[in-house]
Amino acid sequence: MAAPRPPPPGALGVGVGGSGGAAPAAGAPAGVSMRMFHGEVYLGEMEVFPMKQGGEGGLPFPSNEIRVSRLSPASERCPPLAILQTIAPFSVRCKLQTKLTPPNPSLQRLYLTCFNEFKSAVVVVGDEELHLVAMPTKSGKVPCFWCCSARSGLYAASVGMLNLRCLAIVFDLDETLIVANTMKSFEDRIEMLSRRMDVEDDPIRIAGMSAEIKRYIEDKELLKEFIDTDTVTDNGKIVGTQKEEVQPMSGGQERVLRPVIRLPDRNAILTRINPEIRDTSVFVKLRPAWEELRSYLTAKGRKRFEVYVCTMAERDYALEMWRLLDPEGNLISPQQLSERINCVKSGSRKSLQNVFRDRGCHPKMAMVIDDRLNVWDDKDQHRVHVVPAYTPYYAPQAEMANAVPVLCVARNVACNVRGGFFREFDENLLRKVFELYYENGLLDLPYAPDVGDYLVCEDTNFVPANKDQAPIPEGMRGTEVEKRLNGQSYRWEQREGQQMSSLTRSPDDEGMPIRGTGGVRTIQPNGGSLAITPSVYVTVLQEIGRLCDSKVEFRSTVSNGKSMLFSVEVLFSNEKIGIGIGKTRDEAQVQAAEKALQNLESSYLSSVAPVAGVPKKDSRKSPGSGNGFLEDAPCSENDISMREPSGSTLKLDDSNNMDKLSSIMSLIREHCLEDQHVVFRDQVQNSSPARNEEYHFQVELAGLILGRGVSSDREAAKLLAAEEALKTLKSTTDPQIKKYLRPVR
């Protein structure tokens, strides 16, 4: 529950009139007198106080007058300051209060309307909106405002999303949701595999490649039949095309009917990008469990997420692929398609700022589902949930061999992100905003949640252990789509090197490698395990309980100490099997679930082997070693030291090191700006069996190394790195580091 809202001026038993108003604090910047208007209506003289000493940066109002052009949309539950702190943190430019006593009645009406209806008075200055937020005062005598700046249009878009408890989700297409091939791409892949088979000596790999070629040939023949006859023969049954109408986008266009054949048993669709050109026919494989994910996004007719697409594919192709995924337009309406489908030039990096170029959402309120992390701008990577690349030809059973399919994991991650974001928004941000008065300062504003706080992102700087060949990419990407569909000549071999660079093979693998969210995992030609991120440990644990017909419970408490840490215990059939500690309940729950999975391994592994995310482990190695995970949490809220990776030998019940690490991370958090992310990078060096493994950690802030730690104990290495990082923050004179630190009060 949010704290009660302070009463507006005049509600404290003191009249609005009287002598004087809320005087500025001693030492505060001097005020500047300006005239204020609502449209052409004069409201009176206002005294404007810059937020910084000396008025650094100047006052934002042109011509030394304040001209309100409109009021913002009303908010049902979110005061304007909470919205502005979410989309434009710490953007308070100045404070305003009336000079007249009593105030002009028109100004008083404007103030009370804004205060009671959760509106702001908007002053437009170029491409910026200045929002005048009505604030309560401790004196209760004068109408007064905080002036916050935001990008034009962003506030109006965010009001509805925050009121409806809605976030944004951005999907990649190729190898994330679909794999698509033309006749030419089928032929290239078959030729590539055939050449590999000619030089391969391993009979197991030869058998795997032979089976993969057979699957390519089977779908290639279906596509050829579709091109020649507009029919396919599926399991002895002839299936004809259906004419599907393409809904016109905004701006108007001619009605288009595409020939389409849907084969639900194969999870496949055949379509023609240009209905008049048969060579633009495409065979599309849809990733299993897409329907479950799609249903969650719009359950019961209420949107939980606003949906966007960001792809490196050609635009006509991207629009048709999305139409196949969302044929009824429930996720993106036809009128929104032109602005919601974002096509990035091949070789460029994806960016949430470009995705939201219409300012429909702030990047802090958006998560991404993609099979590659390094295609995104560095500043967006902590908001990306990386899924294993979809490989229906290389490993057709991999998706369904696990109890939790990849897109169901993505659905659960999205659910956890949304729940965590709005729990923080309601329990922290709203509560503290309701406690603020006009007399408070900039540093009294609370931390605003970021989607990246609730995701564990992947480190893509994984160095392959050897030079073994990896499976070829299965679908078309970027310029390949455009060239194939336009009939231009293209040599797959020219792109093989750069497309293979992110796929690697483990030196001890007996099967074939597949890249996933956790680096490289082994999988057999007929299916196998997929990588899983720590953010779904809870889901996996609950699935284990279901399979074992055992009850899984989470019990949480808050410590009474100054640290205010949350503690969560996991009970499995009423037996305590794991405990987690964190700065938030979600963090402690994830850690407790991970610890429980470790403790269950020896007793229950035979019962849960099919479940994703519970692989057999080498007792000498930590499964977190070199797996590509970043233990990434913002220094402003989550204590990153409490994200204990799998395989750690540290006991939470005897955690002197953990307590010390927690204290150090709290101090590091106090030094950092609210929106900066501190990262522990796990750089484990694999040793020979005769030697113990060393753990190498380094602490980074915005890519800058603050400290390093090396030890045979994982947590000791983290502690050493954190101690050195704290010393660096306290003593640094480096301007590149200091710009990410809080100003000294």
Which domains, from first to last, does the chain contain? 32-52+61-164 (2.40.290), 178-286 (no CATH), 290-459 (3.40.50.1000), 538-604 (3.30.160.20), 672-684+692-739 (3.30.160.20)
Confidence of residue 399 (pLDDT cuts 50, 70, 90): confident
Report the share of the chain in percent with pLDDT over 70.
70
Between the CA of residue 318 and those of 171, 262, 267, 334, 342, what are the distances in Å? Answer: 11, 18, 19, 14, 9
- Is residue 468's pLDDT more than 80? no
Maximum mean pLDDT: which of 142-151, 590-599, 668-677: 142-151
User: What's the CA gap between 702 and 710, in Å, rounded?
Assistant: 21
Confidence of residue 18 (pLDDT cuts 50, 70, 90): very low
- pLDDT score for 120: 96
635-660 average pLDDT score:
41
227-235 average pLDDT score:
95
- pLDDT score for 662: 67
Confidence of residue 475 (pLDDT cuts 50, 70, 90): low
- Residue 618: how many CB atoms within 10 A of its CB? 10
Token pair belonging to 541: 């644990």
- Residue 580: how many CB atoms within 10 A of its CB? 27
The strands making up 341-343's β-sheet, listed across from edge to edge, are: 341-343, 305-311, 167-171, 366-370, 384-386
588-602 average pLDDT score:
78
pLDDT tens digits for range 282-302: 999 999 999 999 999 987 777
285 neighbors 268 (Cβ within 8 angstroms): yes
432 or 629, higher pLDDT = 432
295 neighbors 310 (Cβ within 8 angstroms): no
399 or 217, higher pLDDT = 217
Maximum mean pLDDT: which of 442-446, 507-511, 595-599, 740-744: 442-446
- pLDDT score for 22: 44
The strands making up 242-246's β-sheet, listed across from edge to edge, are: 178-181, 281-286, 268-272, 256-263, 242-246
488-492 average pLDDT score:
35
User: What's the CA gap between 569 and 592, in Å, rounded?
Assistant: 6
541 neighbors 597 (Cβ within 8 angstroms): yes
pLDDT tens digits for range 252-270: 567 789 999 999 999 999 9
- pLDDT score for 598: 79
Using DSSP, state whether 385 is helix, strand or coil: strand
pLDDT tens digits for range 153-174: 999 999 999 999 999 999 999 9
106-134 average pLDDT score:
94
Element (H, E) at 495: helix 493-500
Confidence of residue 492 (pLDDT cuts 50, 70, 90): very low
Q: Which of 496, 528, 491 is nearest to 509 (CA)?
A: 528
pLDDT tens digits for range 708-730: 888 888 778 888 888 898 888 88
Confidence of residue 577 (pLDDT cuts 50, 70, 90): confident
Mean residue pLDDT across the chain? 76
- Residue 604: how many CB atoms within 10 A of its CB? 20
The strand pair at 341-343 and 305-311 is best described as parallel
- Is residue 306's pLDDT more than 50? yes
Looking up tokens 């074939």 gives 512
Q: What DSSP letter does each residue of 320-352 carry, written as one string?
A: HHHHHHSTT-SSS-GGGHHHHEEEPPTTSPB-H
301-313 average pLDDT score:
91
